[in-house]
Amino acid sequence: MMKKRIWLRRFYLIALCTGLVTLVFPNVVFAQGGQDTPDYGMAINTMWVLLTGALVFFMQSGFAFLEAGSIRSKNTINTLLENFIDTAVTGVVFWATGFALMFGLGNDLFGTEYFFLRGIPETMYGIPTLAFFFFQFAFSAAASTITTGAMAERTDFKSDLVYSILMGGLIYPIVGHWIWGGGWLGKLGFADFAGSTVVHSVGGWAGLVGTLILGARLGKYTEKGVNPVVGHSMTLATLGTFILWLGWYGFNPGSTLAAVGEMAWGSSAMQSIALITVNTTLAGCAAACVAIFIAYLQSGSWQIPWALNGALAGLVAVTAPCAWISPLDSILIGAAAGVIVYLGVLLLDRLKIDDPVGAIPVHLFCGVWGTLSIGLFAVNPNGLGRSGLFYGGGPELLGIQAVGVVAVGGFVLASMSAIFFALKLVYGLRVPRKAEIIGLDVYQHGMANYPEASNAFSPPAALIGEARAPLTRAEAQALRQESSAVGD
């Protein structure tokens, strides 16, 4: 029995030593038989990008929950489906054209190769190109989802599909090429680490022009002022925000595209990941605290929507500078974002621009702020040799960032205006008045998310047929009366 224990101890000792040698000297262990030695650095970086890409993809569920909870129950299925199918169609079009336009070699405006992923190199940015494609697809899907939130509760589903295809396959990739794909803004020195402009501002600009063309929801603005349209489930909205916050730990740290090695500005990948994670966290926390406190001073009550949008505002703002600022600066940037999102919501209401989920103040206004903040707080961003204004770098970098904001805004406003006006002529960008009153779930999808409350147990075809039946004179009169109210 004693000899058996001795042999077991020897076996465990040999196994432990072998494992240690494998970790410290992998070439010694795997060099036999003429096999190629695995590139462990690339393997680790690839798994890092795939894992963080999955977190970014999971943000789509966060957008879906947040938007669904922030609107009325009668439009829940419509919003969920738009978020889900936008992700699916973006995947196809980004494979077909988006990746090529964004990262293919070409000119300063767009790429001209790699369509349908044909001819792609084996690796890009030190990882397999297919892993990089997946990561970038997840970013692309977020842009059209932002637009969906701003245009919620009144957009025709067919039009949503079309503009999502064009966003993922054309508009977003062109802007991405300008900044991340070797285009003219990148060459000018414009910096955007993880997408305050490339992702968030693009979605925000598109949402702004979409809401302007659509107009406000029925009953939102009356002669008496703003008529609040309250979301039906703060539970869903809060869950969605938590999921988005979690996903941001893929969005920002994952943009290093490496977990081992050295970044262009001299820091190790691990140090950069740690700094980015802390900066992302602090900006979101600071913005949430500031937004809810300002709202409390104004209303006298602690209102959760301000905390949710405040946190998202800080996360959006820090997305561009997160790798090149200190934790203190991230708190300042986040705190300013909390003020911006609060004032932004009030500004939209004063201008009678109806944004049901606050996507424009969060993603556009705070995306612009985050982009400009690089020119104020950054220290030698991206190895360019320039620091922000507050760190002795002068106004040059801030000026470059401003040029990028204006250029991207002008391009997205012009292109999406053309797309939305074309959709308005062909399909009708906005649903009929009757659809908006009875709800898009029944009118366009033939079902209700809460059938027990709405008594919508009929088959989808029957519900759609009933919803779209011609109005009687009495129904038309009732419809005109209802259009001035915002019932659920």
Task: Tell me what the mean pLDDT of segment 134-144 comes to.
Answer: 94
As beta bridge partners, residue 106 has 111
Instruction: Specify the pLDDT at position 486.
Output: 44
Task: Tell me what the mean pLDDT of segment 432-455 comes to.
Answer: 84
CATH homologous superfamily of 48-426 equals: Ammonium transporter AmtB like domains (1.10.3430.10)
- Kindly state the percentage of the chain with pLDDT values over 90: 74
3-state secondary structure of 418: helix
Instruction: Specify the pLDDT at position 427.
Output: 84
Q: What is the pLDDT of residues 9-67, one digit of tens each?
A: 554 444 444 443 343 333 433 233 333 335 888 999 999 999 999 999 999 999 999 99
The highest-confidence range among 217-226, 400-409, 425-434, by mean pLDDT, is 400-409
In sequence order, the 6+-apart residues with CB closer than 8 A to the CB of 20 are none
Instruction: Specify the pLDDT at position 112.
Output: 95
Q: What is the pLDDT of residues 189-240, one digit of tens each?
A: 999 999 999 999 999 999 999 999 999 999 899 888 888 888 999 999 999 9
Using 50, 70 and 90 to split pLDDT, how confident is the model at 425? very high
| 182 pLDDT more than 50 | yes
Are the beta carbons of 59 and 203 closer than 8 angstroms?
Answer: no
Outline where DSSP puts E strands in 123-222: 123-124, 127-128, 221-222
Task: Tell me what the mean pLDDT of segment 66-85 comes to.
Answer: 96
Q: Where are the alpha helices (DSSP H) in 300-395?
A: 304-319, 327-350, 359, 366-377
As beta bridge partners, residue 268 has 262
Indicate yes or no: pTM above 0.85.
yes
Q: What is the pLDDT of residues 90-122, one digit of tens each?
A: 999 999 999 999 999 999 999 999 999 999 999
Q: How many CB atoms lie within 10 A of CB 124?
A: 17
Instruction: Specify the pLDDT at position 262.
Output: 85
| 177 pLDDT more than 60 | yes
Nearest to 153 by CA among 212, 252, 53, 82: 82
Look at 19 and 299; give whichever has higher pLDDT.
299
CA dist., res. 96 & res. 117, Å (int): 7
Q: What is the pLDDT of residues 340-366, one digit of tens each?
A: 999 999 999 999 999 999 999 999 999
Using 50, 70 and 90 to split pLDDT, how confident is the model at 287? very high
Instruction: Specify the pLDDT at position 31.
Output: 30
In sequence order, the 6+-apart residues with CB closer than 8 A to the CB of 164 are 85, 86, 89, 90, 144, 147, 148
Q: What is the pLDDT of residues 254-272, one digit of tens each?
A: 999 999 988 877 788 999 9
Domain ranges in the chain?
Answer: 48-426, 433-482
